Structure 1
Amino acid sequence: MKKLLMSLFATLTTVSPLLAQQVKDDVQSIADKYKAVGVAYVVVKNNKIIEKNAIGYSSLETQEKLDVDKHIFRIASISKSFTATALMQLVEKKIISLEDDCSDLVGFPIRNPKFPDKKITLKMLLSHTSSINDANGYFELDVINPSKNPNWQKSYNDYEPGTKYQYCNLNFNMAGAILERLTNVRFDQYIRQQILDPLGLYGGYCIDSLDNTRFASLYSYNQKNDQFVLEPAAYNPRSEDIKNHKLGETTPIFSPTGGMKISAVDLAKYMIMHMNYGKSGKVKVLNKKTSKLMQTKISDDEGYGLALQETDKLIPGQHLVGHTGSAYGLYSAMFFNPKTKYGIVVITNGCVLKYKDGFVAMNAEIINLLYNKLIK
């Protein structure tokens, strides 16, 4: 009887070949509408990956087909959640607090000149409520350092820190630098040691540490000539910069704000950890309380917590938690329901960009299709 039940459960953890093909055909139809180069998608139900597949190409130049298991993408801003997860591990160990002053953590004054007495905390950085912006750029910390940039004030908005939300990449490049300063370990290596390796995931922030034959090429769409343009800068190794890297100073070379490279399948496995409040099987990355805090909105307007966002708009009637990413023509989405234990990952390496309710329209359509066909 026990063997029969186990066998029955095993059959329930994947979808039938017929249904899988129907879903793939439907995904292809949506992708065609947006002229997508390629789309990788993974569906998790009851904590198990029940479907994974890809359509289209990894490379337009070589016509290599996109493979959901093999190919890795620079996933853009979903990367922020890895940075926040690593810092929250240090919060758990009481090495730092979310209320710590970023001036102390970064090593130079982090103060909005219009509110010089108001400290800007780590929590504000991770929730985009710091009043910091990207007006000066975010590829170097010098842009906001008063001793390095005479125009540092431009990096701050007019409102008081902690009172409003504005998405800001500089927040998370600083957060990555803070991680290095606290651990004395190179950012990419720390993420690998503390998150990727324990979960058995292949990926990382350092190009030279990865197999470059697995990179899915990224393409931005040129509307004027209706063509996709290869974006090689997405995988710029910056090898010389890394050789001369200074811990806690030149951390943006790894892009803690957007530079994780990982497959759709391994991203789904990472998602399962967050879906289970910090645990995946026997591996514990975060405590339940800490993980829930990451998923709890701080900004009512945007539903943003600590590098994870709550939304009711992506799938009508469904409360989801996750993040999106967009860079170099790539658009990624990772969303899950921690109560009912399902989640969906969709990544495209290039498509015609349209938005619906704040989400990339193609990804939103595919997510709704996958939910209706495989979850609902």
Structure 2
Amino acid sequence: MKIKIISIVISLALPLIIFGQIPSDSLTYKLEKLSKNNSVEGFGVAIYTRDTVLYKKGFGYADAENKLPYTTKTVQKIASISKLILGVSLMKAQEMKLLHLDDDVNDYLPFILTNPKFSNTSITIRHLATHTSGLKKLPEYDLKALYFSTPIPKITTELPFGLRRSLLNKLSKRINKNEEISLHDFLYNIYAPNGIWYSKNHFENVKPGVREIYSNSAASLIALIIEKASGMSYSEFVRKHILSVLKMNTSGFDFEMKGTKDKKSSLYHAGIKIPNDYKLLLFPAGGFETSVDDFSIFMQSMAKGYYMGNSILQLASFNEMKQVRTSSKFTHGILWEVYPSSSVGHQGDIVGVVAYAYYNEIQDRGYLLFCNTSTTKTIDKDTDDIVATLKEYYTILKPEN
């Protein structure tokens, strides 16, 4: 019996013994193995506490064709994780007394927003921020919000992963017809009664504050509210009150990032390389671009803020941001996902991108995973395996003395 127990202990300890008992080397070994055997072309990861980054590294390629490695300095879109920036910006605007979460959105929006099925019920900023406004999820407009100045090329070869070439070509052709318009005009066309895309069907038959309905276009309305309240563009507000404060020098929205062209990752969707300079017209909800290095700074700052406040927000704002008010079954505070396990953060996926950013307050551990690949047959399993490996090392990695 003793021999059996000793054998088990040795087998569990072997990875650490092989690498000189350095947990970071063991983690690198496991992630490199995953990188070589999954469908993700390139990815970057980090594990952090509120006081230190315990581990960060890139794997695979930022550009597979040219064998350019993916590093922690590689810049890419992070999709819906952009909403974390939006949530912090909104709380900052409230701290500055520019607005209040329970204000009627029509005190700020440049057009009237009303659910025609409940025309006497106000929609508040809080409703938008908690995805309980009654505005429908509109995937067709999420697709319409993708603007490729460089058209997606036609697929002429058979695709891997069992994907149908004809369907993807039809989808690409549709996206290539999208026109670039401003955030204001895009949202006006959807929600203003005189908008060219307006429909009563854009609204659920449910009062504001009753049901959670995740919507990128509804969340993006918050940026227009911040612009009206602050007198500056949303991107300028973010740069002044978040990016400059944290010295996130290689981060910004996709239309601002021309100076980082040589640092940008290529993007891979359904097994093909797509133009990486596309814009998301609903940029507040998904168009933020950053690196593992830069966003580690942001998430560490947030982790510290949830504990004691930080240089951006007071502790009271952090507490309000993670509070789920309407019902315990809802998963969103103020644009942050909130879970009973005490984890907060967000995940995101968009064309060529899958990304995760989470922090657990009880464990004082968080992780980042940015991937430059989407829509493969095994992408969910591949990213789940990476996340599980990162979490396996939550308690193994220790801060340096």
Q: Same-fold call, TM > 0.5? A: yes
What are the residue-to-residue correspondences of 1:8-23 with 2, within 5 Å? 18-23=22-27
Equivalent residue, structure 1, for 2:290: 262
Equivalent residue, structure 2, for 1:342: 365
Structure 1 residues 237-257: Cα deviation after superposition (integer angstroms, max 9, x where no partner)? 6xxxxxxxxxxxxxx746000
Query: What is the CA-CA distance between 1:134 and the residue it aligns to?
Result: 3.6
Q: RMSD between aligned alpha carbons?
A: 2.7
Equivalent residue, structure 2, for 1:371: 394
Query: What is the CA-CA distance between 1:269 and the residue it aligns to?
Result: 1.2
Distance 1:181 1:23, change over 3 A: same
Distance 2:386 2:330 in 1: 19
Give unpaired runs (5+ residues) of structure 1.
Answer: 1-14, 222-227, 238-251, 313-317
Query: What is the CA-CA distance between 1:217 and the residue it aligns to?
Result: 1.5
Q: Given the alignment of the two structures, is residue 94 of structure 1 paired with residue 121 of structure 2, yes or no?
A: no
Q: Given the alignment of the two structures, is residue 184 of structure 1 paired with residue 231 of structure 2, yes or no?
A: yes
Query: What is the CA-CA distance between 1:45 and the residue it aligns to?
Result: 2.9
Q: Which moved more, 1:256-265 or 1:294-303?
A: 294-303
Structure 1 residues 12-48: Cα deviation after superposition (integer angstroms, max 9, x where no partner)? xxx9894322111211233344321112011113520
What are the residue-to-residue correspondences of 1:169-318 with 2, within 5 Å? 169-202=216-249, 203-205=251-253, 206-221=255-270, 228-232=271-275, 234-236=276-278, 253=281, 255-277=283-305, 284-298=311-325, 299-311=327-339, 318=341
Distance 1:47 1:253 in 2: 35
- The letter of the residue matching 1:204 is G
Distance 1:187 1:279 in 2: 27
- The letter of the residue matching 1:118 is T
Q: Given the alignment of the two structures, is residue 64 of structure 1 paired with residue 68 of structure 2, yes or no?
A: yes
Query: What is the CA-CA distance between 1:172 and the residue it aligns to?
Result: 2.1
Distance 1:65 1:181, change over 3 A: same
- The letter of the residue matching 2:331 is G
Choose the corresponding residue for 2:348, options 319, 325, 349.
Answer: 325
Tell me which of the two structures has the higher relative contact order, counting C-alpha pairs closer than 8 angstroms and 6 or more residues apart: 2
- The answer to whether the 8 A contact 2:78-2:355 is kept is yes
Structure 1 residues 259-281: Cα deviation after superposition (integer angstroms, max 9, x where no partner)? 11111121111011211226899
Distance 1:131 1:32, change over 3 A: farther
- The letter of the residue matching 1:236 is Y
Distance 2:256 2:352 in 1: 18
Structure 1 residues 125-161: Cα deviation after superposition (integer angstroms, max 9, x where no partner)? 1111111124362541121111223633122112111
- The answer to whether the 8 A contact 1:55-1:65 is kept is yes
- The answer to whether the 8 A contact 2:365-2:394 is kept is no
Distance 1:17 1:204 in 2: 39
Query: What is the CA-CA distance between 1:287 and the residue it aligns to?
Result: 0.9
Distance 2:44 2:242 in 1: 23
Tell me the TM-score normalised to structure 1 length: 0.81
Equivalent residue, structure 2, for 1:111: 114
Give unpaired runs (5+ residues) of structure 2.
Answer: 1-18, 146-185
- The letter of the residue matching 2:83 is K
Equivalent residue, structure 2, for 1:48: 52
- The letter of the residue matching 1:229 is I
Query: What is the CA-CA distance between 1:179 and the residue it aligns to?
Result: 1.5
- The answer to whether the 8 A contact 1:80-1:257 is kept is yes
| Secondary structure of the structure 2 residue equivalent to 1:124 | helix
Equivalent residue, structure 1, for 2:158: none
Tell me the TM-score normalised to structure 2 length: 0.76
Distance 2:133 2:112 in 1: 14
Q: Which moved more, 1:335-344 or 1:93-102?
A: 335-344
Structure 1 residues 313-354: Cα deviation after superposition (integer angstroms, max 9, x where no partner)? xxxxx5311111111131111111234432111111115455
Equivalent residue, structure 2, for 1:159: 206
Distance 1:369 1:144 in 2: 45
- The answer to whether the 8 A contact 1:47-1:342 is kept is no
When Rg is computed on C-alpha atoms for both structures, the one with the higher figure is: 2
- The letter of the residue matching 1:84 is G
| Secondary structure of the structure 2 residue equivalent to 1:210 | helix
- The answer to whether the 8 A contact 1:99-1:122 is kept is yes
- The answer to whether the 8 A contact 1:37-1:349 is kept is yes
Distance 2:316 2:20 in 1: 37
Equivalent residue, structure 1, for 2:79: 76
Equivalent residue, structure 2, for 1:31: 35
- The answer to whether the 8 A contact 1:207-1:235 is kept is no
Distance 1:40 1:208, change over 3 A: closer
| Secondary structure of the structure 2 residue equivalent to 1:265 | helix
Distance 2:248 2:93 in 1: 21
- The answer to whether the 8 A contact 1:278-1:284 is kept is no
Distance 1:16 1:307 in 2: 43
